[in-house]
A = this chain, B = another copy of it.
Amino acid sequence: MPSEPSRSLTVHGYSLSGNCHKVRLLLEQLALAYRWIEVDSSAGQTRTPAYLAKNANGKVPMLELDDGRILVESDAILYWLADGTPFLPADPWQRAQAMRWLFFEQYSHEPCIAVARFVRGWTHADSPRRVELPRLLEGGHKALAVMEHHLQAARWFTGADYGIADIALFAYTDVAGHGGFDMSAYPAIRDWLARVRATPGFVAMPEPPAEVAARLASST
């Protein structure tokens, strides 16, 4: 990002999405100015013709530059914003290890831990999607075990220091309880979550609205 001329940045995002919150957290920690356009993906706002014209994959977050250029995929946005900053190592091997955790997050972590949270909080109690929960919990616990194993020998996922792989993994791990995950078996993850929360410029994801919170509290 510093290698680009200074540009005004617009994020199209849903504030309660961990994938979107990742981008906000990094922008805040980089102290970059940005405009945030709230797009409620849970209410179909990523499926309008105007939105699909900018992102044919119909997902948030989406980064838009003042010249109209578009970048999508949360972890690609983190990568671009962090390039040339302390949030992404310069060493090629360390950089590839950070990428490893970004791909782990999108393949093995988010599809279980984020989706379990969505099903419990954003679908009705009698939704047919609730049958997915046991499989999502099983897969999510496998991902958490891999993270716990890593953190027994390392403080961070990005490299020697905190950075975008930590931000990417933090987003949904911090709200894993929403998906029904009991975190008591993961002391190293709990310590790491506390370290992330203590980083300069940290901002938390907003609390869900009352109707979602009620579903999360009543779900089994």
Contacts and interface: CB of A to CB of B under 8 A. Distances in A.
B93 A72 contact: no
A1 interface: yes
A166 interface: no
A99 interface: yes
A75 B103 contact: yes
A92 B1 contact: yes
Number of identical protomers: 2
Given A79-B96, A93-B80, A103 B146 contact: no
Interface residues of A, number: 36
A4 interface: yes
A40 interface: no
Main secondary structure of the interface of A (DSSP, over half): helix
A92 B57 contact: no
Contact of A97 (B71, B99, B103, B111): B71
A15 to B, nearest CB: 21
Interface in A78-95: 79-80, 83-84, 92-93, 95
A202 interface: no
Interface in A125-144: none
Nearest to A111: B111
Nearest to A106: B107
A77 B96 CA distance: 7
Contacts of A95: 80, 83
A139 to B, nearest CB: 11
A104 B59 CA distance: 11
A99 B111 contact: no
Nearest to A2: B92
A71 B96 contact: yes
Contacts of A75: 99, 103
Nearest to A83: B92
Given A73-B103, A103-B73, A107-B107, A57 B146 contact: yes
